[in-house]
């Protein structure tokens, strides 16, 4: 189900715009807030590298939480990606655990890569390729981004110490069983 169709938007939260339509997902922060968190962990990065890291932060966040982390659209460019509405202006960092964990994970996994390596990863991805096809509109589609970051190559990497999908499902089932036993 598309992200835009699957979620109701509380009226007190910002909504993202995608091709003139709302994402339909509650947003917890802005791209500038994510950039502030990146700056706090890796000061001195150029804005272009921060945009690349935003691509990975958004992708991993959507894949895990099924909602975009920030509302600004990501645009595919010949140099990778851009977030035209995020200029790196001072902003408060996200203050909840989920976004900060995602940001920390992305910096740990991708932060040491060169801008050229990040660009290669981005340009080889389905979300970037779909956005740059004729008629693609140039914007990274959040549904394609979510699906890309949920694919087996991304989630079942043997060098990745995070639990894979099967291990997470098993842990969730054990937790449900434990909670049900405590309730009875």
Q: Is residue 168 part of a domain?
A: no
**Element at 14 (helix H, strand E):** none
Q: Which of 181, 126, 169 is nearest to 151 (CA)?
A: 126
Query: pLDDT tens-digit profile of 19-67?
Result: 444 444 445 699 999 999 999 999 999 999 999 999 999 999 999 999 9
- Residue 19 is assigned to a structural domain of this protein: yes
Residue 28 included in any domain: yes
Q: Residue range 4-30: average pLDDT?
A: 44
Interval 101-135: pLDDT, tens: 999 999 999 999 999 999 999 999 999 999 999 98
Total domain count, the chain: 1
Structure tokens at 67: 């909602």
Tally: H helices and E strands in the chain: 9, 4
88 part of a folded domain: yes
Residues in the chain: 184
Residue 22: domain span: 3-150
Tell me, what DSSP letter sits at residue 85? T
In a domain, 174, yes or no: no
Which one-letter DSSP state was computed for residue 124?
Answer: T
Decide if 149 contacts 82 (C-beta within 8 A): no
| Residue 178: inside a domain | no
Instruction: Give the whole-number percent of the chain exceeding pLDDT 70.
Output: 77
Q: Is residue 170 situated within a structural domain?
A: no
């Amino acid at each position: 189900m598309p992200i835009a169709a699957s979620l109701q938007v509380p009226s007190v939260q910002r909504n993202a715009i995608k091709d003139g339509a709302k994402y339909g997902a509650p947003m917890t922060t802005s791209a500038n807030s994510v950039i502030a968190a990146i700056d706090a962990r890796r000061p001195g990065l150029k804005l272009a590298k921060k945009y690349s890291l935003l691509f990975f932060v958004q992708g991993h966040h959507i894949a895990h939480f099924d909602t975009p982390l920030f509302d600004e659209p990501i645009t595919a460019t010949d140099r990778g990606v851009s977030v035209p509405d995020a200029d790196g202006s001072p902003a408060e960092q996200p203050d909840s655990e989920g976004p900060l964990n995602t940001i920390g994970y992305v910096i740990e996994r991708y932060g040491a890569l060169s801008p050229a390596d990040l660009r290669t990863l981005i340009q080889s991805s389905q979300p970037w390729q779909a956005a740059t096809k004729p008629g693609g509109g140039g914007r990274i589609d959040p549904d394609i981004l979510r699906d890309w970051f949920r694919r087996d190559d991304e989630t079942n990497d043997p060098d990745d110490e995070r639990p894979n999908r099967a291990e997470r499902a098993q842990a969730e089932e054990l937790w449900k069983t434990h909670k049900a036993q405590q309730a009875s």
